[in-house]
Structures are given as C-alpha cells and as structure tokens.
A and B are shown apart, each in its own frame.
Chain A
Amino acid sequence: MKKRLNQFNIVIIGTGGQGLITLLQVLAEAAILEGYDVKTSELHGLSQRGGSVEVHIRFGNRIFSPLVKQGGANLIISLETQESIKACYYSSQKAKTIFLVNNFIIPIPEAKLLTINQISKTLKNFSQKIILVPASNICQKELGTNVASGVYLLSLAAFKNLIPLKPKSILEAIKKIIPKNYLDINLKTFKLASKNA
C-alpha cells in the first residue's frame, strides 16, 4: 500500500469558454481511479460568457468542502496569464502553492494589461515556484490548434509530478471524459506533453 494522501487542493482559473469544467471532470475521474475521495466546484451560465472563471477540485482520504480555502491551494493552474493574479487569494507559503501558468494573453476590453514581468513579480510574493509555459502557442505550433491547451497543462503537471496522480490515470480519464470528436486531438496533446515534460 502506498502512503495515502490527506488532501490535495487545486484551483484552475481562466476565462469562460476555455474548457475549465472539462479539466475538472478529467481530474475528478483520475482521482477516483486512484481510489481517492473527491469534490469539485464549478460555475455555469452567465459566468461562462468569457468572464473570469475559477473552478476548484480537492481530493484525498476524506474531503468535505468543494471549495479550496484562502491560502489553501497546493497547485494553481491558470489558463490565461492575466487571470493568474486573481488566484493569489488561494496561494500561501504554508500550502507551498505552485503556479502553473499558460503564457497566453486574452485581452480585456478597455483595460490596461499587466506585463509578464509585473505578473511574475506579483506571483513571487505568494509562491516559491512559478512555472510559465506557452501552452497555447506550443499546441498551436505542434498540433495546429490550441483547443486542448488546458489538457496540455494538466498532462504536463502530471508528468512533472506537480499533481499526485499518475499520468496513466490522467490518460484513462481523458479517454472517458472527452467526447469522441475531440478525443484524437486530446490524446495527441497528452503525448506532446509527455515529450516536453
């Protein structure tokens, strides 16, 4: 028997329409495959229309709250660079929060955007480990589409041991959750992440 995990808390942040809920479903299935209890929280409706969205997933021995508490995230995955800052609420030294950030900007109408340097500097106040990955650009370049850049980041996190789940479980979960029409591109994305990890 391997050592059982008490709890692992992930916040995924991005903008509506980037497929955050799919990532939650994949993670939840993978956690179940490894025998963990799991809770997730997500938002639908108005919040989907391109606004800021954050979703939560927690897994471990016994999980009650679907929400990660303030300063309680072990991993923050940000699908867009500007949004990563909004997740600082969930990061802390105590939780040893790791930021895995897609280096990819979706403009905000009529707003002044922060530069990558400003963002990195701010995140450093909250976390010892910040990983910036141009996931959307890599996917676009290698696969001709960035539709699965979230799955790229997630797979990368598994291969880099940023998530205590086996890449094999993530792969199984992808096969179960992703609809047929998109499965092929997602499997290719997973492979690409394994190569680049």
Chain B
Amino acid sequence: MVEILQNKLGKKIILLGNEAIVRGALEAGVNFVSTYPGTPASEIGNTFFRIAKEGGPYFEFSTNEKVALEAGIGASFSGLKTLVAMKNFGLNVCLDALIPFVYTGTKGPTVIIVADDPSCHSSAQSEENTRPIEHLVHLPILEPSDPQECLDFTKLAFEISEKFKIPVMIRTTTRVAHQRMPVKLGDYESGIKNKVEFIKDPKRFITLPPRVLEMKKELLEKIEKIREFSEKSKINKTEGNRKSKIGIITSAISYLYVKESLKELNLDLPVLKLGVFYPSPNKKTKNFIKDLKKVLIVEELEASLEEWVKGLAKEVNPKLQIFGKNLLPTVGELKPEYVILAIAKISNKKYKIQNTKYKIPASKRLPQLCPGCPYWLVISAIKKAVDVEKVIFGGEIGCYMLFGNSPINLQDYLSCMGSSVGIAHGIKKAGSAFAPPPLKFRRASKAQARKQKVIAFVGDSSFFHAGIPALINTVFNKSNPLIIILENQTTAMTGHQPHPGAPVIPNGIKIENIVSACGVKNLKVIDPINQEEFTKTVKEFLEKDEVSVIIARRPCIFVAQKYEKKT
C-alpha cells in the first residue's frame, strides 16, 4: 500500500508540498478529484491518479482546467467533497466557471488548488501572480508556507468550505509545492458520508438576473462573516517580541525566509504571519501596526499585502513607515539573502553577504528535446521542405516550445495553450486583408492568401485542451495556415499524463476524426519517420487555399515502450 494512504496517526513522513495537499484532502475525506496537469501543481494529480487504483477517491485528468472545474462543480452540487487542482494559467482558463460558482456556493465542500511559479522555473508565457484574483473572485484564499501547512490548510480549507458553503482556494508557489519536509500525519478516513444526489434548488444553482444580484449581495455578506473567522483564526498569528517598534508582515514562502533571516541576524522582531490571504484580518493587522514605527512587508511578486497595509495604516497609524517593494523585487522569486538584507536595513543592522564577487563564466545550458524524441523527425522534415526564413512558425505550450531554442529555431511567437492556431489564423487574415497593395477587406485574392506562409505547431493534449475551437475558426472564417498536430500520445512535458486520444484510454478519440468533422479537407496522418512523405506533404499543403492539417503521429519515447507492452 502506498505510504500516503496509510493511517498512521501522528507519524512523520517526508512529503513534497503537493503530496501533503493530497494527504490533507484524504484526511478531510475527499471524494472527487479533477485536474489538468501543469507544473508546479502536477504531482497532485499524479498522486491521486496513482492511488485511485488502490482505493483512493474518484480521480480524472480532465481535458482542460475549465472542464475540470465544471466537473468539480457538478460533483459539489451533488454533495461530494471535491478538489480541483491546476497551475496559475489554468485558473485563467476556468475563470468563467469559477466566478458563478462563488455566487452559487458549494453543496459538497470544495477546495481549488492553484500553483504559481515566480521566476518561471517551469512556465513560459508570463510570471502570473494569482493573488490579485481576490478583487475579481470573492473566494477565501489560504497560503501555506511549507508541506506541513499544505496538509493542515487543505483540511482547514474543506472545513471553511463546509461551514460557509463557498469554494476555498489554496495558493501555492514552486518553492512550497516542491518543498519536502517531515510532515505529521493526522487521522485518515475514507468513504462517502454525504448523500450523493443532485437535488433541484433553482434559487441556489441558477445564476440568472435578477436573482444573480441578490446572490452577489449574499456573497459579499458571506465574505464579511469569513473575515470574522479570519480575525480569530490561528493561522493568522503573531510571533516574537511585541515590545519592538519594528515589525514584519508576511505570508507563504516569504515567512520561512523571514524566520531564517531573524535567526541569521540574531534579531527578535514581532512577525504577523498571514495564513489567510483573503478575506484578510483587518482588526488583527491594525492592532499589530498601531504602535509600530516601521513595518516591513515581505511578499513575492506584486505588492498586495503592502497596498492593503498602507490603507489600514492611514486609519490607525498614519506616521508608520512602510517598507516592502522599495527593498524587495517585484519580478522573480524572493531568496533568503534578499530578505536578510531588507530586515538588516530597516533594523539598522550591519550584514555582509558572502561571496559578492560571484559571476558565471560558464555557458548557459538550456533545456533540450530528449535524444530520440519524435519531434526531431518533424523538425528535420520541415527544414528539408521549406526555407525557414520565409515561413512563420507558431509555438505552443508543451515540450515543443523548445523549438524556440538553438539549434532548432522554429518558433516566431509563443503564447498560451491553443493559441498557435488562433494566432496563425489572425496572421493569415491580416496578410490577406491588409497586405500591399491594399485589397478590399475580406476579399483577398488567392495569391495574397498564399503570400506569407504560417505553420502552427500544436501538441495533442493542447489540441484537446484549447486547439479545437481555434481550428474550427480557421475553417469558419476561411484562412489557410498549415497546422501540424504533434501527436506523441501523451501529455509529455508535465510528466506523461494520459489524454483523451492516448492509446492507454479504451476507445480513445482519434484526432483525425475531430479534424475532418471540423470540415478540414487537407488532412494527412503521417509517422514522421517517413521523412519523404512528410516533407512532400508540408510543401504541398503550404500551397493550399484552405486550412490544412498534418497529424505527426509517433509516441514519445517514454510512453512508446509502455504502449508496446500492452498490445
């Protein structure tokens, strides 16, 4: 039996932050779990996937984060304890479903895990900070600092959700999700206690005006009640010497750097550690700052706590000197040495950072496609087929975003999942509508449409996730990019999770059936090992007046062996 499933009350085992979230959910009695993989949240889904076969709760890899959340909403409406996990960009995808869910509230308690990645260790596209979501979606947000808190806060999040009938978010970052420490286990009970049934309740589940405005009012009242809970909650705690006139307010990973810094500097300063990011405890914080001369806010990325403290200080301590982003960076994650220096500065203590003459003489080593990766075959065929300087290459999220690195250099733009196709359509339309000499809008000649060639890459998992609507749009609004679907039959980048077309799935969906149902006439499925056919088809399809699709079908080397064994 997997150690994480065992009931060993009080035992300490080493867990990764993400595993501790899983354990916390199990101890809370979670019944239904859905996710779409994304680093640094992936191990949550991977762990549930593994234990689902050993008596764990229901688990699914959904087609994207919105669908994952919607599945979770359905489970919650039917009374199940539900958990949905994703990385920060996934939250953008599911936001449309999340906002009304906060209005309707939960029936079965529901916890949503969102993982940010300051410094973009494993994220392209942006250094997104989930915290300002508090202004848009009024849902409680908890921020654990370490794996023990990941476990404890997940359990607490289920309790808050149960009590207030609202989904509760846990926001982690890479250094929390991918931190290991000995974690004390609690009691573990499985099984369904709630009655599983969708009971009709239109007043509650239908967000239609004018009721929707009443719901918003009820939501805001609910948040104020949760704020009272937050004021009393032990996870918003004050530590250290209350007589000092210099204080620190912090949360999440930054708290650990503050503790480390105080130890390093041999200082005893009062620290307000916030486990609840939203709704924040205004009274407790006013009380903390009212007699201070200086306060340092230690937080990663954009100033959220700092802006809030500035507002509170106006009421209770207008002379308070507030430090934060004037001493700490807004871009990139914090490091312990940054926090040591900031605290030394506000407390007028001398501190010398060791080793400041440091600089890197070594070459950068960028990530690369694995040796033997089927994508190398696609790259080789394309380089044979076209003059790469004359073709625009659309990139996407997956292993193939490494196409942007040297020596491959087949990437001219990169944005979010599904966007390579959507943007390719825009480029083709722009070229045909506005290219000189100016042509009448919407009525580009065939020659114009052929002028600037675009090849958009999209992975199979990304195609299911967000590529299909974009493909339909190219057909519906008539543009002619060449779309190459890189079908490696797995979600490779995040750790080889299955997707709806993977051969491990019984009756898996065939991508060519979807593509042809979308109305694409120029369609070929080619194993890129057939270089000649692949090269010839690329050349041929780039001359077409309508959209064309090549499905490059060859499994990722890490799943190929597994699939061969099964058949």
Contact between A29 and B14 (Cβ–Cβ < 8 Å)?
Answer: yes
Cβ A46 vs Cβ B363 within 8 A: no
Contact at B257–A65, with CB atoms within 8 Å? yes
Q: Does B43 contact A (CB under 8 A)?
A: yes
Among residues of A, the one whose C-beta sits closest to the C-beta of B40 is: A44
Does B174 reach chain A (CB closer than 8 Å)? yes
Q: List A contacts of B354 (CB < 8 A).
A: 70-72, 92-95
How near does chain B come to A95, taking the closest CB pair, in angstroms? Answer: 7
Could you tell me if A64 and B256 are in contact, using CB atoms closer than 8 angstroms?
yes
Contacts of B225 in A (CB 8 A): none
Among listed A105-113, A131-139, A151-159, A188-196, interface-contacting one: A105-113
Cα distance, A122 to B359, chains bound together (Å): 10
* Interface pair A109/B407, CB less than 8 Å apart: yes
| Contact stretch, chosen from B179-187, B189-197, B384-392, B442-450 | B179-187
User: Which residues from 98 to 117 on chain A have a C-beta closer than 8 Å to any C-beta of chain B?
Assistant: 108-114
Flag if A89 contacts B40 (CB, 8 Å). Answer: no
CA distance A172 to B368 in the complex (A): 35
Write out the residue numbers on chain A whose beta carbons fall within 8 Å of the beta carbon of B340: 69
Given the known interface contacts A29-B14, A44-B178, the answer about A49 and B402 at a Cβ–Cβ threshold of 8 Å is: yes
A113's contact among B264, B363, B366, B369, by CB below 8 Å, is which?
Answer: B363
Docked Cα-Cα span, A187 to B39, in Å, equals: 32
Complex interface: chain A residues within 8 A of B363 (CB): 82, 108, 111-113
What residues of chain B lie closer than 8 Å to A93, measured between beta carbons? 354
Is A40 an interface position by the 8 A CB rule? Answer: yes
Known: A46-B123, A109-B407, A110-B406. A70 touches B364 (CB 8 A): no
- CA distance in complex: A134, B122 (Å): 31
CB distance from A113 to the nearest CB of B (A): 7
A47 CB–B CB distance under 8 Å:
yes
Q: Which of B43, B256, B361 contacts A114 (CB 8 A)?
A: B361
A82 to B42, CA, bound (A): 30
- How many whole Å from A180's CB to the nearest CB in chain B? 14
By secondary structure, the A interface counts as: loop
Q: Say if the beta carbon of A79 comes within 8 Å of chain B.
A: no
For A43, A85, A118, the residue with the greatest tally of chain B CB atoms inside 10 Å of its CB is A43
Q: Which of B262-288 contact A (CB under 8 A)?
A: 263-264
Residue of A nearest to B117 (CB): A45
Q: How far is the CA of A37 from the CA of B122 in the complex (A)?
A: 28
Q: Which residues of B contact A77 (CB under 8 A)?
A: none
CB distance from A114 to the nearest CB of B (A): 6
Contacts of A109 in B (CB 8 A): 368, 406-407
Closest to A65 in B: B260
Chosen A-B contacts, 20 in total, with CB atoms closer than 8 Å, are: A37-B182, A38-B182, A41-B180, A42-B180, A46-B123, A49-B399, A49-B493, A50-B370, A64-B263, A65-B257, A66-B179, A67-B336, A70-B337, A70-B353, A83-B365, A108-B365, A110-B407, A111-B364, A113-B363, A122-B361
Q: Which 3 A-B pairs have the closest CB atoms?
A: A71-B354, A45-B39, A45-B122
Chain A residues with a Cβ under 8 A of chain B: 15-16, 24-25, 28-29, 32, 37-52, 63-72, 82-83, 85-86, 88-89, 91-95, 108-114, 118, 122, 125-126
Contacts beyond the supplied A45-B495, A46-B124, A112-B363: 18 A-B pairs with Cβ under 8 Å: A28-B14, A28-B180, A32-B14, A37-B181, A38-B180, A39-B181, A40-B180, A41-B179, A45-B39, A49-B399, A63-B181, A65-B257, A67-B175, A67-B257, A69-B337, A83-B365, A91-B355, A122-B361
